[in-house]
Amino acid sequence: MKKFFSLIAMIAAVAMVSCEPTPSPEPDPTPEKLTASVSPSEITADGQSKAVFTVKYGDKAVSNVKAYVNGAETALSALTFTTKTAGTYKFYFTYEWKTGETVKSNEVTVTAKAAEQSGDGSGLTMEVDNTVIPINTGRATFTIKFNGKVVESGYKIYKNGTETKLPTDANKKPYFVSKDTGTFTFYVTYNITESTKNKPISVQVINDAIPDRAEDPNPTSTSFKRRAMVMQFTGTN
């Protein structure tokens, strides 16, 4: 009889355990919202003007994100974008949170404008200090500016329509010296889209030295002596 009651007690205990409700599983955590912003949203397509992105997961700024521009994955250094090509660029970002799931940000747009559209209108300019130089010893030094700022690199100079490499002085300005006489035409290109081809500069290289002062009482320059003879013969001054 004692064994019978023990068996009944065990059956009752098992029944009580089986009747207890099964605890509900904890709900999966909900990911935070991924938001992207950019400043400035308009840059100059000069390879130097920068658009800087800020990406936040919830309220926390994150940098270990993947960036996409116009639908294609791209690499951004320090979430910074530069370009030399004018156009409209649409960005979004993705972030992998702790569950291994990926969240996607909103889309932000960066507009890169060519210099003549976005700057002060000056664009690319090229100047020269001397348009007439003597052969071998004369020097014509060029100053290249982009939107009013001196450019020291990244440009290409063309002489008589052919790309040429000119030496630079201590101020990093290119200069021209010639062993040949003649007239040489120069223009410069910068950032692919910028060019002064329609505003070329001509430098004339002559055989004779150019006198510093025509009124020199004891001129040594042969060009000055010839000029004096021409003046005496023609009666012009």
Does some domain include residue 141?
A: yes
Q: Among 69, 91, 113, identify where a domain stops.
A: 113
Into how many domains does the chain fold?
2
Instruction: Kindly state whether residues 72 and 145 are assigned to the same domain.
Output: no
Q: Quick check: 68 and 90 in contact, CB under 8 A?
A: no
Here the CATH number for the domain that contains residue 171 is: 2.60.40.10
Does some domain include residue 77?
A: yes
Which residues in the chain land under pLDDT 50?
116-121, 213-215, 220-237
Q: Residue 98 has what pLDDT?
A: 77
Instruction: Kindly state whether residues 107 and 39 are assigned to the same domain.
Output: yes
Q: Among 82, 113, 144, identify where a domain stops.
A: 113
Q: Residue 115 has what pLDDT?
A: 54
Instruction: Kindly state whether residues 84 and 161 are assigned to the same domain.
Output: no
Does some domain include residue 11?
A: no
Q: Residue 174 has what pLDDT?
A: 97
Instruction: Kindly state whether residues 228 and 141 are assigned to the same domain.
Output: yes
Instruction: Kindly state whether residues 129 and 165 are assigned to the same domain.
Output: yes
Instruction: Kindly state whether residues 58 and 151 are assigned to the same domain.
Output: no
Quick check: pTM over 0.75? Answer: no
Q: Residue 21 has what pLDDT?
A: 58
Instruction: Kindly state whether residues 107 and 142 are assigned to the same domain.
Output: no
Q: Which domain holds residue 55?
A: 34-113
Here the CATH number for the domain that contains residue 99 is: 2.60.40.1080
Instruction: Kindly state whether residues 80 and 176 are assigned to the same domain.
Output: no
Instruction: Kindly state whether residues 77 and 130 are assigned to the same domain.
Output: no
Does some domain include residue 4?
A: no
3-state secondary structure 55-105: EEECCEECCCCEEEECCEEECCECCEECCCCCEEEEEEEEEECCCCCEEEC
Instruction: Kindly state whether residues 137 and 42 are assigned to the same domain.
Output: no
Q: Residue 213 has what pLDDT?
A: 47
Distance CA 4, CA 156 (A): 105
Query: Measuring CA to CA, how many Å separate 6 from each of 13, 14, 16, 18, 28?
Result: 11, 13, 15, 19, 44
Q: What is the tens place of the pLDDT at every residue in 108-147? A: 999 988 754 333 345 889 999 999 999 999 999 999 998 8
Q: Residue 149 has what pLDDT?
A: 87
Q: Among 71, 86, 113, identify where a domain stops.
A: 113
Instruction: Kindly state whether residues 92 and 155 are assigned to the same domain.
Output: no
Q: Residue 8 has what pLDDT?
A: 62
Does some domain include residue 134?
A: yes
Does some domain include residue 75?
A: yes
Instruction: Kindly state whether residues 159 and 194 are assigned to the same domain.
Output: yes
Q: Residue 224 has what pLDDT?
A: 43
- Helix or strand holding residue 4 (H, E): helix 2-19
Distance CA 108, CA 41 (A): 8
Other beta carbons less than 10 A from residue 150's beta carbon:
11
